[in-house]
Amino acid sequence: MTGTPIAAATAIVTILAILVYFWTLMGVGAMRGKHKVNAPTMTGPLEFESAVRVQANTLEQTPIFLPLLWLASLYFSPAVSMAYLSWLPPILGVVWVIGRIMYKNGYMAAPEKRSTGFLIGGIAVVGLLICAVIGIILQLSATTS
């Protein structure tokens, strides 16, 4: 799979996901400075606590997202016969990144506005899980036939 356009797209999505995580991390630092919340304190004004939750939730979601992104790309993309479907894993990865950005922007506007971004990211992760499982089954069935 290495060297294919799908692998390159998946690598780009991986970098985007890491950049989004760094963005949330820098958001916490900015809020610490703005509200004078010194480390290791984890409580403070709502804006600071919201930034901390965005960063923590993104950190919690990333180890679920990244393996599923790569498993789906490694197994699903080469196993499907319709070329346009093989792009589904990196496309779902972009959807997850967009969902995370919407989650952060919504949460920072008001915590109750985080749901849409969270839902979009969640749907992308479930889609990647389904792709990974289907791809693994297809590849296992092809090797046992």
CATH number of the domain where residue 53 is located: 1.20.120.550
What is the reported pLDDT for 18? 98
Separation of alpha carbons 109 and 107, rounded Å: 5
Separation of alpha carbons 107 and 138, rounded Å: 39
CA atoms within 13 A on the CB side of 117: 22
* pLDDT at residue 84, rounded to an integer: 87
Contact 78, 86 (CB under 8 A): yes
pLDDT of residue 82: 84
Q: Provide CB contacts within 8 A for 136, sequence distance 6+.
A: 71, 75
Residue 2: predicted pLDDT: 67
Residue 45 scores a pLDDT above 90: yes
Residue 143 binned pLDDT confidence (cut-offs 50, 70, 90): confident
Q: How many structural domains compose the chain? A: 1
Position 1 pLDDT exceeds 70: no
Is 14 within 8 Å of 69 (Cβ atoms)? yes
**What is the overall mean pLDDT for the chain?**
96
Q: Choose the weakest-confidence range: 33-37, 134-138, 140-144.
A: 140-144
User: And the tokens for 78?
Assistant: 């080469």
| pLDDT score at 48 | 98
pLDDT digits (tens, 9 = 90+) for 17-35: 999 999 999 999 999 999 9
Whether 145 is in a domain gets the answer: no
Nearest to 25 by CA among 69, 64, 62: 62
Question: What pLDDT, on a 0 to 100 scale, did the predictor assign at position 8?
Answer: 97
- Evaluate the omega torsion of the peptide bond into residue 111 and state whether it is cis, within 30 degrees of 0: no
Q: Work out the average pLDDT over 99-119.
A: 98
Its domain, for residue 10, covers: 5-140
Residue 69, domain member (yes or no): yes
Cβ count near 78 (within 10 Å)? 15
